[in-house]
Structure 1
Amino acid sequence: MALVYLRELDEQTKFAIWKIEETAEELLGRLQLDARERAKLESLSKGKRTLHWLATRVLLRYLLNTETYIDCPSDKNGKPYLPDFPYKISLTHSYEYAGVMMSTKGECGIDLEIVKEKVVNIKEKFLREEELIFIPDGHLDQLYACWCAKEAVYKLQGNKGISFLEDMTILPFVYKPQGVLTLQLRKEDELRTFQVYYEKFQQYMLGHVVE
């Protein structure tokens, strides 16, 4: 694996992105897995899903600076956590990259997506009319900034019942290659506001947020 991006946002929060260059066998050789994790690994389809799962765990060990076993289960909604460390974590992957974010400040979320034309065909599934109105036609990068922002907040709050379309609203913003947008999440009768940071990373879009 090659570390291609390491960023410390402050003393409490950091994230890293790795380019996956190893085989599944090479990645597995750098891990210690318990019976639960081995069962999880066996349940994955071979190929990218296996590489992504293994790579995020290897990267997690890199950020925690340990080669020993790390317990990283998931809660009932599939949100990963570290029972033996003080960090909140979020994992992401896309094609040849894997990413991990961790923070002692609060819950966090990170998302990495390769930018492709197909997002134009599904934009109405995750953005409302009042959101689409401030995005120029065909602006793929801004569409992906919105998608990554919603995905990052979705991971942060860890509730499978949240809808990108119905429960999340992005306020108007002017796209830059690196910027910040405001996202409002309505969960039951509570309205929460998040500042989500986004940036273009090679041919990918990256979004991250911390409570």
Structure 2
Amino acid sequence: MAFSKIAKEYTIMPQLENEITQTRAWGLWKIEASEEDLKLSGGFAETIPAEIVHPEKRAEFFAVRALLHNLLQQLNLTYQGLTKDTFGKPSLRNYPHQVSLSHSYPYVTAIVDEHKPVGIDLEHFKPKLLRIAQRMFSQTEQADAGDNLIKNCIYWSAKEAMIKVYGKKDLVFAEHLLIEPFVLKQKGNLSGRIIANQKETIVSLKYTQYTDFVIVCSV
């Protein structure tokens, strides 16, 4: 019998929110632990790439893996590390489950699904998004978002989540990743389309606004 829950738990990092079912797990954490504590809480020794040197980026690397360790525990699985394909898409080592990660310091988020590709994106509300809308959004999307920073951020984050579902990087955001206009709410649903290889795939997404950022994920 399927079950779900939304809970706030005491962990090495404040777990702001999570949702767990028998086949899917999602979580949002805020980084407040030291790098050494994050390493210990990850449940698996991983070597950080040498090119990751900035303290915040290092913290994100270990924090999102600690979050994955926590989510997999709740699915009765053991975190054994991540691998990436040639497009940079992450996969769980030794499990068929699909995974997607996102981080923007001091927050990290991750989603795991047993059956289908997933995509998740966390974006802070940054004014620079207004400057790239003309290049990244269709005319319909631009007209709907206007100069509303939050709406622009949701459109952008939704496209990032969809390209993670797709798993490759050969798409043009304004032409191949399209989001239907929507009424802005604190939480809401989105309908997206991935147009690739002469095929159109419908992607259902949901978004949640927080104080200074938004999360969009596939459903």
Instruction: Quote the Cα distance in structure 2 between the aligned partners of 1:77 and 1:139.
Output: 32
Specify the SS of the correspondent of 1:116.
coil
Q: Deviations over 1:3-62 (max 9, x none)?
A: 111123x542221010001122221233432xxx42x43221222111111111111111
Q: Deviations over 1:161-205 (max 9, x none)?
A: 122122111122222121111111111211111111111022111
Cα offset, 1:67, TM superposition: 10
Q: Which residue of 1 aligns with 2:53?
A: 45
> Counterparts of 1:168-183 in structure 2 under 5 Å?
168-183=177-192
Instruction: Quote the Cα distance in structure 2 between the aligned partners of 1:53 and 1:148.
Output: 20
Instruction: Quote the Cα distance in structure 1 between the aligned partners of 2:147 and 2:186.
Output: 16
Q: Point out the more displaced range, 23-32 or 114-123.
A: 23-32
Please give the TM-score of this superposition, normalised by the length of structure 1: 0.89
From 99, 102, 110, give the equivalent of 1:100.
Answer: 110
Please give the TM-score of this superposition, normalised by the length of structure 2: 0.86
2:72 is equivalent to residue 61 of structure 1: no
Are the counterparts in 2 of residues 41 and 50 from structure 1 also a CA contact under 8 Å? no
Structure 1 segments unaligned to the other structure (5+ residues): none
Residue identity matched to 2:33: E
Cα offset, 1:69, TM superposition: 5.6
Specify the SS of the correspondent of 1:81.
strand
2:28 is equivalent to residue 17 of structure 1: yes
| CA-atom RMSD in angstroms | 1.8
1 or 2 for the larger relative contact order (CA 8 Å, sep ≥6)?
1
Q: Which residue of 2 aligns with 1:128?
A: 138
Instruction: Quote the Cα distance in structure 1 between the aligned partners of 2:82 and 2:164.
Output: 16
Structure 1 runs (4+) deviating above 6 angstroms are: none
2:120 is equivalent to residue 117 of structure 1: no
Are the counterparts in 1 of residues 72 and 79 from structure 2 also a CA contact under 8 Å? no
Q: Percent identity?
A: 28
Instruction: Quote the Cα distance in structure 2 between the aligned partners of 1:4 and 1:41.
Output: 28
Instruction: Quote the Cα distance in structure 1 between the aligned partners of 2:97 and 2:35.
Output: 27
Instruction: Quote the Cα distance in structure 1 between the aligned partners of 2:203 and 2:41.
Output: 36
